[in-house]
Chain A
Amino acid sequence: MSLEKLLENPRVWRGSSQVGARAGLASGYPKLDRCLPGGGWPFDALTEILIDQYGIGELRLLMPALAQLSREETQTHCSGSAESAEPGWIAWVAPPFQPYAPALQQCGIDLSRVLIVRPKDDSELLWSAEQALSSGTCAAVLLWPVTLDDQASRRLQLAAEKGHSWAIAFRPLSARQQPSAAALRLELQSTRQGTRVHILKSRGGRPAVLDSLL
Chain B
Amino acid sequence: MARAWKSPVVARDNAPTPTAKQQSLPFAEPASLTGPLPPAKISLTPTAVTRLWFCIWLPNLPLEACRSSEAALAIVEEQHGIHRVLQADSVASAAGIMPGQSSNAALALLPTLTLEERSLVREQQVLERLATWLERFSSFVSIAGKDVLLLEIAGSLRLFGGLPHLRKTVSKGLRAQGFSAAMAIAPTPLAATWLARADRRVCIRAQENLGPVLRKLPLGCLDWPAGQRESLIAMGISSLGDCLRLPRDGFARRFGTERLLEIDRALGRLPDPRDSWRAPERFCADYEMTEEQSECALLLHICQELLLSHEQFLLARQLGTQRLYFSFFHLKSAATELQLGSAIADRSQKRWFDLLKIRFEALRLPEPVIAVRLRSGLSQPLQVDNAHLCFHAEGGKQQRRYSIAQLAERLAARIGEQSVSAISMVAEHRPEYAWKLQNPLSDWASNTLTTKSCVKRPLWMLPEPALLPADSGYPLYKGSRLTLLDGPERLETGWWDEQNISRDYYMAADGAGLRLWVFRNRQRTPNWYLHGIFG
Contacts and interface: CB of A to CB of B under 8 A. Distances in A.
Contact of B453 (A102, A107, A137): A102
A158 interface: no
7 tightest A-B CB contacts, nearest first: A55-B533, A82-B395, A101-B435, A59-B535, A103-B457, A100-B461, A136-B400
Nearest to B535: A59
Given A60-B459, A82-B391, A99-B461, A110 B447 contact: yes
Nearest to A84: B400
A166 B438 CA distance: 24
Contact of A80 (B394, B431, B512): B394
A78 interface: yes
A129 B57 CA distance: 59
B515 A55 contact: yes
Contacts of B460: 54-55, 59, 96-100
B414 A124 contact: yes
Contact of B535 (A54, A114, A136): A54
Interface string B496-532: 0000000000000001111110000000000000001
A192 to B, nearest CB: 6
A110 B515 CA distance: 24
A68 interface: no
Given A80-B392, A80-B394, A101-B425, A60 B534 contact: yes
A112 B445 contact: yes
A70 to B, nearest CB: 11
Contacts of B290: none
Interface residues of A, number: 56
A195 to B, nearest CB: 7
B325 to A, nearest CB: 23
Nearest to A53: B514
Interface in A75-121: 78, 80-84, 89, 96-107, 110-112, 114-120
Contact of B399 (A56, A83, A134): A83
B168 interface: no
A112 to B, nearest CB: 4
Contacts of B21: none
A97 B461 contact: yes
Contacts of B395: 80-83
Contacts of B511: 192
19 contacts: A53-B514, A60-B459, A60-B534, A81-B399, A81-B400, A89-B404, A100-B532, A102-B451, A103-B458, A114-B423, A115-B404, A118-B419, A120-B419, A124-B415, A128-B411, A131-B410, A136-B402, A163-B401, A190-B513
B254 interface: no
B514 A190 contact: yes
Contact of B457 (A106, A115, A131, A193): A106
B421 interface: yes
Contacts of A207: none
Interface string A170-213: 00000000000000000000111111000000000000000000
Given A98-B463, A131-B407, 15 more contacts: A55-B533, A59-B460, A81-B395, A82-B388, A82-B392, A98-B462, A100-B458, A102-B425, A106-B451, A107-B459, A112-B446, A117-B411, A118-B420, A138-B404, A192-B512
A117 B420 contact: yes
A134 B533 contact: no
Interface of A: 53-60, 63, 78, 80-84, 89, 96-107, 110-112, 114-120, 124, 127-128, 131-132, 134-138, 163-164, 190-195
Contacts of A128: 411, 414-415
B32 interface: no
Interface in B379-427: 388, 390-392, 394-395, 398-404, 406-408, 410-411, 414-416, 419-425
Nearest to B406: A135
Given A102-B453, A115-B420, A55 B534 contact: yes
Interface residues of B, number: 58
A209 B422 CA distance: 37
B440 interface: yes
B437 A120 contact: no
A195 B535 CA distance: 11
Interface of A is mostly: mixed
A131 B451 contact: no
B450 interface: yes
B519 to A, nearest CB: 14
Which of B399, B415, B440 is the most central at the interface, judged by chain A CB atoms within 10 Å of its CB? Answer: B415
B434 interface: yes
Contact of A56 (B391, B453, B461, B514): B514
A111 B456 CA distance: 17
Nearest to B408: A115
A137 B437 contact: no
B255 interface: no
Nearest to A94: B419
Which of A104, A107, A124, A135 is the most central at the interface, judged by chain B CB atoms within 10 Å of its CB? Answer: A135
B535 A57 contact: yes
A111 B420 contact: no
B511 to A, nearest CB: 8
A191 B514 CA distance: 9
A1 B113 CA distance: 95
B459 A83 contact: no
B420 A59 contact: no
Interface string B317-341: 0000000000000000000000000
Contacts of A115: 404, 407-408, 420-422, 440
B474 interface: no
Contact of A135 (B401, B420, B515): B401
A103 B459 contact: yes
Nearest to A62: B535
A55 B401 contact: no
A107 B456 CA distance: 10
Contact of B422 (A78, A116, A131): A116
B147 to A, nearest CB: 53
B287 interface: no
